[in-house]
Structure formats: structure tokens, C-alpha cells
Homo-oligomer: A and B are copies of this chain.
Amino acid sequence: MNDLLELASDFPLLSRTVRGGKPLVYLDTGATSQKPESVLNAERTFNQTHNAAVHRGAHQIAEEATEAFEAARSAVAEFVGVSFGEIVWTKNATEALNLVAHGFLNATLERGGSEASRFRLTSGDEIVVTELEHHANLVPWQELAAKTGAKLRWIPVTEDGRLDLEQLDVITERTRVVAFTHASNVTGAITDVPRIVERAREVGAFTVLDACQSAAHLPVDLHELGVDFAAFSGHKMLGPTGVGALYGRQELLEALPPFLTGGSMVEVVTMEETTFMPPPQRFEAGTQMVAQTVGLHAAVDYLSAVGMRQLSAHEDHLARLMLEGVAGVPGVRVLGPTSAEDRLAVVAFDVPGVHPHDVGQILDDQGIAVRVGHHCAQPAHRAFGVHASTRASAGVYTTPAEIEAFIDGLHRVVKFFA
């Protein structure tokens, strides 16, 4: 019981009501998290006091802005267990994953010089993804495959919504990239990362981890996990919208050709040609989301103060309550593991005969906010034989009472459409 955190009062939005005075039960953290007051304050203070162009001005405010911006990089790097220079700011995880895929594309188009040759793809090469991926970690690889002639293959999903690691032999000597999720935003299943990394290393393939769902809910040490690249988003981990990050192993970032080009990532520019800065600047073209990185800094400070182990134990408890509760609603099928082991408090389910839109609507009417649809993972839904589902997902601020309200609400849904 001392697993349980009581933090909701730190989050201003959570005290609001919806649909005519009903207390809000926010179970859509898997889509985007709410932000603690400390994050909102950090952004505001930056904007009111230190806002200026970074890495540019010689004036005091520009120096302060630069220091705040780089301090944020340092804090986020430490939070995920990597070095300062291995964190590249992006607008979201999607951009981070596109950055890596375009690095391969640009190398294949012979940009980036000889050190980029290790990223060149040919039609004999293969890219491996998984059937559980969010579209953000699938479509960029489809595009890369289409443009380079490389072939896309994938690790299938098991009946209980995990990656089928019996089928790791889809990773072969032809595989150049293995892109996979740390935790599914549909099934909540946590991936056995070391096993996939081991297999990828055997064949010399690069690994790209989608850490969007894990970074906010589990202790994540990317160096320890041994992946080559990883992506995550600020808005899912108590931070602002508009900021995300790419992790890349130092040596790889140094060899990867740039993606977006423009100001602040160049060394010498003539009309004819341009030389580029070392990473991470090489990948940060134009004015960055400075205030948002400062907000994300406050977010990881908040998470660290709570403690990621404590947080993950709290959510583990909530996952158990959710799974038990949903199992008690007649007919409802969970898409994903039905036990809480190696699983996030993200529960997607199907109510036979009732469309998720209708499930969500009746819950919303009771003040319960869940997500409905395919959650940007159509192939995963197809694997379960459904087109859409309803998903409840918890966060650091979620309470057992809210899970209870949700389960009650779900019973009412079934009754309404009976």
C-alpha cells in the first residue's frame, strides 16, 4: 500500500470538472500527460526572465537562455542514463524517429561523406520493425524502405500482445536496422530489450528504440539497454508539448548526416556549399523550442524527485486494479497481457458489440476521459482482429479511486448498450 503516491494536487488541470460539474477522471495519460505546476512555472519564469536566442547573442539574457537550454539537455541526458552530447532536441518523438530514418536516407544519397557510409542502404538490405509499433516507428521505415529499395520485415505479435521473440530469426545478416518499441501504447507490454539488442548485435544491425511510453513510467537507462538510438516525447512525461528528444550513441551521431538544415547547425556557408557542426548541434536547425526544454527539465526533476522506481511500483499497482476490474466486466476482452507483469498501466480493450466511440462517449459523460480509436497502431489492432479499441492509461497522479470510477463506468456502458 505504501506503493501509492498522492500527487494529483500538484497538477492544476486535474482539479477541473467536465460535462456539467463532474469531477475529471483523466485516464488518457498514454496519449498525453498532464503537467505539474512546477513545469508550468519553469516555462513561465523562463519566458518572463531569460528568454533570448541561444548560442548567438553576446548579451546577458542570451547567456542565461543558453545556460538554461544546455542545463536542460544535461538533465534529460542524465534522466535516461546517457551523456550530454548524445541528446538532440526535436519537437516530438516522431521527428526524432524521422531524423534517424532520414540519416540513413541521406547517407544512401551520398551525403555526409565517407564516415556516413556505414548508414548506406541497398536493395539487398533489410529493416526490421514490429507489428506492435506506433505509426511513428513504422511509417518512417516504410518510407525509407521505399526510397532505398531496402526490404521491410517485422517481428509479429503474440496472442497476448507481446512481441513474439520466438521469431527473432527475422533478424538476419541482411538486417541493417531493428526499430522497436520499449513498451506498446496499445497492449502495455514491456519489451525484453536486451534480447533484441543481443540478436541485432550478432548480425551487426543498428537498434532504434521507441521509448515514448517507457520514459515516463519506468526507470530507463539507455546506455545499459545498449541501444544505438532512442526517441521520446516531453508531453508524455509531464513536460510541455513541442519538445522531444533523440538519443544517439556519440560515435553514431558523429557519423550521421544532418536532417533539417538551416541556421545554428552550420560551420562555413558559401553560396556553393556548407560544412556542418558536430552533434548535437548538427541536428538542431533553426531556433529551438527553448522554453519547452526548460519545462522538460522541470518535468524530469519532478519525476526524479518522485523516483522512477516508486512511480513504477505505483503504476504497477494501478495496472493490477485495472486488469482485475476490466476482467470483471462481462464480455470485455483485453488487448494485451492480462497479468500485470512486465506491463504498463495502459489497458486497451474491446467491448463486443459496442464501438469504442460509444464506449468512450458514455465514459466521458461520467467525467472519465479515455482514448478511443486505433491509437496510431492500426497493424496491432488488425492483429487482434479489431479496428479500434478503448484505452485507459494511468500516470503518476492517478489514484485507485479513479480506477474504481472507471470500472463502475464501464459496467454502465455495457448496461447502456445491452
A271 and B379 in contact, given A13-B48, A53-B32, A111-B143 (Cβ under 8 angstroms) = yes
**Docked-complex contact A28 and B59, CB < 8 angstroms:** yes
Q: Interface code A119-138, partner B: CB below 8 Å = 1, 0 otherwise?
A: 00000000001010011111
A382 interfacial by beta-carbon distance below 8 Å: yes
A165 interfacial by beta-carbon distance below 8 Å: no
A359's nearest neighbour on chain B, judged by CB, is: B58
Residue numbers in B under 8 Å from A35 (CB-CB): 47, 51
A59 and B379 in contact, given A273-B142, A287-B94, A292-B241 (Cβ under 8 angstroms) = no
Taken together as a complex, chains A and B put the C-alpha atoms of A175 and B271 apart, in Å, by 17
Q: Interface code A76-118, partner B: CB below 8 Å = 1, 0 otherwise?
A: 0000000000000001111101100000001001010000000
**Docked-complex contact A98 and B285, CB < 8 angstroms:** yes
Q: Nearest-CB distance from A328 to chain B (Å)?
A: 23
Residue numbers in B under 8 Å from A290 (CB-CB): 241-242
How many A residues have CB within 8 A of the partner chain?
96
**Docked-complex contact A139 and B274, CB < 8 angstroms:** yes
A60 interfacial by beta-carbon distance below 8 Å: yes
Residues 220 to 246 of chain A near chain B (Cβ within 8 Å): 233, 235-236, 240-243
Q: Which of A109, A129, A287, A370 has the most B CB atoms < 10 Å from its CB?
A: A287
A139 and B262 in contact, given A28-B62, A53-B28, A60-B369 (Cβ under 8 angstroms) = yes
Residue numbers in B under 8 Å from A60 (CB-CB): 18-19, 364, 369
- Of B26, B58, B363, B376, the residue contacting A372 (CB under 8 A) is B58
A363's nearest neighbour on chain B, judged by CB, is: B59
Q: Nearest-CB distance from A288 to chain B (Å)?
A: 7
A401 interfacial by beta-carbon distance below 8 Å: no
**Docked-complex contact A61 and B18, CB < 8 angstroms:** yes
Taken together as a complex, chains A and B put the C-alpha atoms of A382 and B271 apart, in Å, by 10
Stretch at the interface among A146-154, A311-319, A345-353: A146-154
Taken together as a complex, chains A and B put the C-alpha atoms of A376 and B286 apart, in Å, by 9
Q: Which of A18, A32, A373 has the most B CB atoms < 10 Å from its CB?
A: A32
Taken together as a complex, chains A and B put the C-alpha atoms of A360 and B56 apart, in Å, by 11
Taken together as a complex, chains A and B put the C-alpha atoms of A97 and B263 apart, in Å, by 12
User: Can you add 19 more A-B contacts, CB < 8 Å, to A18-B61, A289-B289?
Assistant: A12-B48, A13-B48, A18-B59, A28-B62, A31-B53, A32-B51, A32-B53, A56-B371, A58-B357, A61-B369, A91-B95, A135-B262, A136-B263, A139-B266, A140-B261, A140-B262, A142-B272, A236-B287, A241-B290
Q: What 5 pairs across the A-B complex have the smallest Cβ distances?
A: A94-B286, A242-B289, A263-B376, A136-B262, A242-B242
